[in-house]
């Protein structure tokens, strides 16, 4: 009887000469996958089978870092011992034995390893007085299965004798992981005896599992012999890749089609939507088991044929909990939650997977209480149970409850799974709770979710919606490879934050990286062009879509273009675009056009847009309100009165205006000075409307009263608000104080604003302006010194204009930084002379410093909007409007100057300031001097 020895130089080991093992380079027939790049940190933890994750993709399993072993058997590897590794005692060894005790012990090792109990498997191995090669093989396979490849390889090297099963265990183990597939191929090439069909099939299974289908096909054709398992593995590879026709061809070539192969083919047909062919195959099966029946039922259900699925379920000879659950999931996926509930109540038992599915169904139907009741009744829960409850809360906007349930899940020691992580990211995004989002990010890293593109996209979206664009960019930059969804998240996020330049920069990076934009990308990019006023670039991008054979512009893209042209004042061009649409424009597009008409006071096109809107939405009050606003701002008082009468008739007829409609009406009253009418509408909201006035409505009323000079009444209204007034309301009051030079109330409003926004310089600047306009120069000087001493953020006045696809920025009082400042200065001097000839006199009250009149005139000349207009006069061709954007409200002196400049140069000037659009033409402004 042989004694076991520790090293590989034993009698049996010498039969396998390690020095003569062929290297991977000398294996002539074994194909290898392409070299794999470095792995990014993973973000993934697994989802238990049977948990329903709605439409979310399943997470990848946790990857185990195993070093590459290039000379798999030829070198003596020094391994760092794992806690489960052992020093092998000297025990009796036989290559094989059929003794019942040995066979039973080997079976116990394999069973414990399959259950994940490697401590028990090792103890059972060590307790054997007699070991065989099969004992080693069972323990090696267990180590591989439980993510301990180094320990498995160390034990393989210390085996006193190896048989073909030892090498097969090694090949199977290395095939479990993508990055050790080359080692599996090396092991196959190293077998000193002819490999068996099991050896080849083990490597074939690895190639298929990790998506190396081309390598799998080559290996399959090189195999000296194949059995039904080899065919079934290859068949599964074709089906997983969606290559259904090649799978059909291979299926026909199979010499022996067992129930497993037939069921796999049936599932492939169903995944491809070919349920009729699946049913023919099902009916022709000589033998069916419960898996075959369940597969056909699931196939019908997944393809929306739940009635056929139920009929087949009713005639199924034997049902188990998987069959019941499959039918239940089919109903839920088809949206038949009531039928699913009836089936659930009829089930003889309620396994965890079925309960999880039913909770998801309840969540889809909005039955959160039913989901919560079922969750409370469950005696056994898995991570899928918790994620189903969290999902039900999240999709029904019980956001705090979702967050609370997730925290309880973590407190109970249950690691977050993929669906629950995605749900909580959505919650953090909706509530803008950055700290909770950061905590979840850390948990996702611990669970290895960072290799999943969907999870990373959701993480980026969370940071963007929480306003942390730097962290979003960092996550985005680290992750590779990026897909189009991730690029879209960044582009859309920057666009939504008004950072159009950054959004366009990322779009250019996307194209440079070779990533093809999709429909969502173009929506984000056109939005960015709209925010930055880049009309030409927006036109080019939209036209490229129109000529593309891949992505044609849809309603959303036309809506973005209408908004882009409308913001730029090109309302006629926006209307032409709508008229040339291939499909009928919807209410969103007409609404975008009407919004543009409101900005630019174009009543004629607004009337057309309103008619189209009312055809599509006859019960909407919005078009009437917008028209009233436009009529008012253009001096068509009678028409405006008619529109408001229609609005009142709608209220009398019981048609309830929504919150937005009331904002529009109150704004119209504010712009027209209709104080009494505005009071009546606001009071009707407080007493008889189903819609209670919110902060936006109070802000409109403060603006209405403030414009009319009723600053004290506006303050009383604020004091009587049911909720605490926000910064917008106090800002509206302060604007009224500035208009009417009420320093006393302005000081109160400034204090309130500074409590809400302590780092903002705005209240101090406005107060300084009020002090200046009332001759309180000393107070104004103190205020400016205070702003300087506190290093408060004061936005400098700047204006910009686009020319030749470049944005030219101008800052008040700083003209010399522009490369063409010399010709701009000459144009400003020329305009000064023309203005003087036209009777213009500078209004020094808009200068916030106590300086002489000549210096005040000089200061006003170099306001940023005047510099931009001067540049536009030099560069923009005649007949084209000069479009200028300004970050602050245009001052009264510049507003008066612009009207005259437009008249004396016969040019149209469109200025968008912080409040509104101003169309200067023929000596008039569209705002009618009311802004």
Q: Mind listing the pLDDT tens digit for each residue in 693-718?
A: 888 888 889 888 988 889 899 999 99
Spatial contact of 912 and 884, defined as CB atoms under 8 Å apart: yes
CATH 1.10.10.10 fits 694-794, yes or no: no
* pLDDT at residue 2 tops 60: no
Tell me the pTM. Answer: 0.56
- pLDDT for 123 equals 92
The residues pairing with 815 across neighbouring beta strands, listed in sequence order, are none
- pLDDT for 652 equals 60
* pLDDT at residue 527 tops 60: yes
* pLDDT at residue 640 tops 80: no
The residue written with tokens 């040019």 in the block is 907
Q: Which residue has the higher pLDDT, 81 or 791?
A: 791
- pLDDT for 92 equals 65
Spatial contact of 499 and 477, defined as CB atoms under 8 Å apart: no
- pLDDT for 400 equals 87
Instruction: Give the mean pLDDT of 398-414.
Output: 89
Write a three-state SS string for 886-913.
ECCCCCHHHHHHHHHHHHHHCCCEEEEC
Which of 67-76, 728-737, 835-844, 907-916 has the weakest average pLDDT? 67-76
* pLDDT at residue 857 tops 80: no
- The encoded tokens of residue 875 equal 């560069």
First to last CA, the chain: 104
Cα(573)–Cα(578) distance, integer angstroms? 9
Q: Which residue has the higher pLDDT, 119 or 568?
A: 119
The residue written with tokens 């074994």 in the block is 30
Strand order across the 909-912 sheet:
806-811, 798-803, 882-886, 909-912, 917-921, 924-925
Of 590-594, 663-667, 800-804, the range with the highest mean pLDDT is 590-594
pLDDT band at 33 (very low <50, low <70, confident <90, very high): very low
Instruction: Give the mean pLDDT of 206-230.
Output: 91
- pLDDT for 688 equals 65
Cα(538)–Cα(554) distance, integer angstroms? 15
The half-sphere exposure of 97 on its side-chain side, counting CA atoms within 13 A, is: 20
> How many C-beta neighbours within 10 Å does residue 221 have?
11
- pLDDT for 666 equals 81
pLDDT band at 43 (very low <50, low <70, confident <90, very high): very low
Q: Of 719, 667, 666, 656, which Cα lies nearest the Cα of 691? A: 656
- pLDDT for 372 equals 93
* pLDDT at residue 24 tops 60: no
Q: Which residue has the higher pLDDT, 725 or 622?
A: 725
Cα(455)–Cα(79) distance, integer angstroms? 35
Q: What is the DSSP letter of 582?
A: S
Instruction: Give the mean pLDDT of 376-400.
Output: 91
- pLDDT for 623 equals 79
Q: Of 369, 319, 375, which Cα lies nearest the Cα of 347? A: 319
Domain ranges in the chain are 1-30+64-176, 482-553, 694-794, 799-925
Longest dimension (CA), the chain: 121
Per-residue pLDDT tens over the stretch 729-784? 888 888 788 777 788 888 888 878 777 777 666 677 777 777 776 667 677 777 76
Percent of the chain surpassing pLDDT 70: 81
Instruction: Give the mean pLDDT of 346-374.
Output: 91
- pLDDT for 478 equals 87
**Strand bridging mode 798-803 / 92-94:** unpaired
Cα(921)–Cα(898) distance, integer angstroms? 9
pLDDT band at 574 (very low <50, low <70, confident <90, very high): very high
- pLDDT for 301 equals 87
Cα(58)–Cα(71) distance, integer angstroms? 35
- The DSSP H or E segment spanning 2 is strand 2-3
* pLDDT at residue 139 tops 90: yes
Per-residue pLDDT tens over the stretch 781-815? 777 676 666 655 556 678 888 887 677 888 876 77
Cα(51)–Cα(352) distance, integer angstroms? 8
- pLDDT for 405 equals 92
pLDDT band at 1 (very low <50, low <70, confident <90, very high): very low
- pLDDT for 371 equals 93
pLDDT band at 67 (very low <50, low <70, confident <90, very high): very low
Of 201-215, 649-663, 758-772, the range with the highest mean pLDDT is 201-215
- pLDDT for 685 equals 82
* pLDDT at residue 386 tops 90: yes
- pLDDT for 637 equals 65
Spatial contact of 911 and 931, defined as CB atoms under 8 Å apart: no
Spatial contact of 805 and 534, defined as CB atoms under 8 Å apart: yes
Instruction: Give the mean pLDDT of 605-620.
Output: 83
The sign of the dihedral angle between the CA atoms of 858, 863, 865, 867 is: positive
Instruction: Give the mean pLDDT of 260-272.
Output: 91
- pLDDT for 770 equals 75
- pLDDT for 278 equals 92
- pLDDT for 208 equals 92
The residue written with tokens 């701002």 in the block is 633
Per-residue pLDDT tens over the stretch 454-468? 888 889 989 988 878
- pLDDT for 650 equals 62
């Amino acid at each position: 009887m042989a004694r076991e020895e520790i090293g590989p130089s034993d009698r049996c080991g010498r039969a396998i000469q390690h020095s003569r093992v062929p290297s991977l380079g000398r294996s002539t027939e074994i194909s290898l996958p392409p070299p794999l790049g470095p792995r990014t940190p993973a973000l993934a933890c697994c989802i238990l089978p049977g948990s329903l994750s709605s439409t979310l993709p399943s997470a990848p399993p946790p990857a185990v870092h195993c070093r590459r072993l290039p000379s798999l058997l030829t070198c003596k590897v020094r391994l760092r011992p794992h806690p489960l590794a052992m020093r092998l005692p000297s025990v009796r060894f036989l290559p094989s034995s059929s003794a019942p005790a040995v066979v039973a012990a080997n079976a116990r090792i394999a069973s414990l390893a399959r259950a994940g109990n490697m401590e028990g498997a090792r103890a059972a191995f060590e307790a054997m007085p007699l070991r065989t090669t099969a004992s080693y093989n069972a323990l090696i396979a267990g180590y591989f299965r439980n993510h301990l490849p180094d320990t498995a390889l160390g034990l393989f090297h210390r085996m006193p004798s190896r048989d073909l099963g030892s090498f097969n265990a090694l090949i199977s183990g290395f095939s479990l992981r993508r990055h050790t597939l080359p080692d599996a191929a090396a092991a196959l090439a190293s077998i000193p005896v002819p490999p068996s069909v099991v050896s080849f099939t083990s490597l074939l299974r690895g190639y298929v599992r990790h998506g190396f289908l081309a390598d799998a096909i080559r290996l399959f054709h090189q195999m000296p012999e194949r059995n039904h398992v080899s065919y079934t593995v290859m068949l599964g590879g074709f089906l997983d890749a969606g290559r259904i026709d090649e799978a059909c061809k291979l299926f026909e070539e199979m010499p022996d089609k067992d129930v497993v192969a037939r069921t796999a083919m049936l599932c492939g047909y169903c995944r491809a939507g070919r349920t009729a062919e699946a049913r023919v195959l099902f009916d022709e099966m000589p033998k069916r088991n419960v898996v075959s029946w369940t597969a056909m039922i699931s196939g019908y259900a997944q393809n929306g044929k739940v009635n056929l699925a139920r009929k087949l379920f009713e005639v199924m000879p034997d049902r188990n909990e998987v069959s019941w659950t499959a039918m239940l999931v089919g109903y839920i996926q088809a949206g038949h939650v009531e039928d699913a509930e009836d089936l659930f109540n009829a089930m003889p038992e309620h396994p965890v997977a079925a309960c999880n599915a039913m909770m998801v169904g309840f969540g889809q139907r909005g039955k959160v209480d039913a989901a919560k009741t079922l969750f409370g009744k469950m005696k056994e829960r898995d991570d899928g149970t918790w994620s189903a409850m969290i999902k039900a809360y999240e999709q029904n906007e019980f956001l705090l409850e979702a967050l609370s349930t997730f925290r309880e899940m973590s407190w109970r020691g249950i690691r977050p799974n993929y669906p629950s992580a995605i749900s909580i990211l959505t919650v953090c995004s909706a509530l803008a709770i950055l700290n909770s989002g950061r905590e979840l990010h850390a948990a996702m890293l611990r669970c290895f979710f960072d290799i999943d593109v969907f999870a990373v996209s959701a993480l980026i979206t969370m940071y963007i919606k929480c306003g942390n664009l730097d962290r979003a960019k960092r996550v985005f930059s680290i992750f590779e490879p990026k897909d189009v969804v991730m690029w879209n998240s960044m582009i859309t996020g920057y666009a939504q934050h008004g950072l159009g330049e950054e959004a366009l920069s990322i779009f250019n990076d996307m194209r440079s990286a070779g990533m093809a934009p999709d429909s969502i990308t173009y929506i984000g990019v056109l939005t960015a062009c709209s925010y930055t006023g880049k009309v030409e670039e927006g036109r080019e991008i939209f036209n490229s879509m129109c000529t593309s054979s891949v992505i044609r512009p849809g309603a959303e893209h036309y809506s973005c273009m209408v908004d882009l042209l409308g913001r730029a004042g090109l309302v006629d061009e926006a209307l032409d675009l709508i008229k040339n649409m291939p499909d009928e424009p919807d209410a969103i597009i007409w609404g975008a056009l009407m919004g543009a008409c409101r900005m630019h006071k174009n009543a004629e096109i607004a009337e057309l847009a309103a008619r189209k809107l009312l055809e599509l939405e006859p019960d909407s009050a919005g078009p009437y309100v917008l028209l009233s606003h436009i009529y008012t701002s253009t001096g068509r008082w009678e028409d405006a009165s008619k529109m408001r009468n229609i609005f009142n008739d709608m209220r009398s007829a019981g048609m309830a205006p929504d919150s937005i409609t009331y904002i529009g009406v109150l704004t119209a009253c504010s712009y027209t000075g209709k104080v009494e009418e505005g009071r009546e509408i606001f009071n009707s909201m407080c007493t008889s409307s189903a819609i209670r006035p919110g902060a936006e409505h109070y802000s409109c009323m403060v603006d209405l009263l403030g414009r009319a000079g009723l600053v004290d009444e506006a303050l009383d209204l604020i004091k009587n608000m049911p909720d605490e007034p926000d910064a917008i309301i106090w800002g509206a009051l302060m604007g009224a104080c500035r208009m009417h030079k009420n320093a006393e109330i302005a000081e109160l409003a400034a204090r309130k604003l500074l409590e809400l926004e302590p780092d903002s310089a705005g209240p101090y600047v406005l107060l300084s302006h009020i002090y200046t306009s009332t001759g309180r120069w000393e107070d104004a000087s103190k205020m400016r010194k205070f702003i300087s001493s506190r290093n408060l953020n004061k936005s400098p006045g700047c204006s910009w204009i686009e020319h030749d696809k470049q944005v030219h920025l101008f800052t008040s009082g700083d003209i010399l930084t522009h490369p063409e400042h010399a010709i701009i200065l000459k144009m400003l001097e020329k305009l000064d002379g023309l203005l003087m000839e036209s009777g213009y006199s500078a209004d020094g009250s808009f200068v916030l410093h106590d300086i002489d009149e000549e210096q005040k005139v000089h200061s006003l000349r170099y306001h940023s909007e005047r510099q931009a207009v001067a540049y536009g006069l030099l560069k923009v061709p005649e007949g084209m409007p000069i479009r200028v954007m300004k970050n602050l409200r245009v001052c009264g002196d510049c507003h008066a100057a612009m009207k005259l400049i437009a008249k004396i140069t016969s040019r149209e000037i469109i200025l968008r300031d912080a409040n509104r659009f101003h169309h200067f033409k023929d000596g008039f402004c569209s705002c009618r001097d009311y802004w």
